[in-house]
Structure 1
Amino acid sequence: MPVFELILYIMAVVVLSSFLERFIPRVSVPLVQITMGVIASELPFFPNVTLDPELFMIVIVAPL
């Protein structure tokens, strides 16, 4: 269940950042998303997650 909550929170932050980007056209979408991610990670109800470095390398870095 915590993973499902985390996915929902991340999707909400991405949608909100895309919505905010329309009001701030001079700032690129990735910068808005990074800023929103930093803000969301500091919220008290946002779940605290630790990633295994090997899993991060296989799932995220390898496809890039």
Structure 2
Amino acid sequence: MKPTAAQKETLTPREGTFLMMVAQLVVLTCIVLAATVGGLSWQWTLLLAIPPVIGGALLSRVWGKLPR
């Protein structure tokens, strides 16, 4: 049975998780750059950066459990 066009275009769970991890890094970088340009203290920058860091850590745990 041949895969349909929709099945060929679907991401595997591993590819999707990798893209989410890259997105988390982009978000973290944007937060740090915006906080730096905006003149926020390092404490506020750290506070803003906590959610993407936690998200990235959780995604990396999922990444390790996915089949190759």
Instruction: Give the TM-score, by structure 2 length.
Output: 0.45
Higher helix share: 2
Q: Which has more radius of gyration?
A: 2
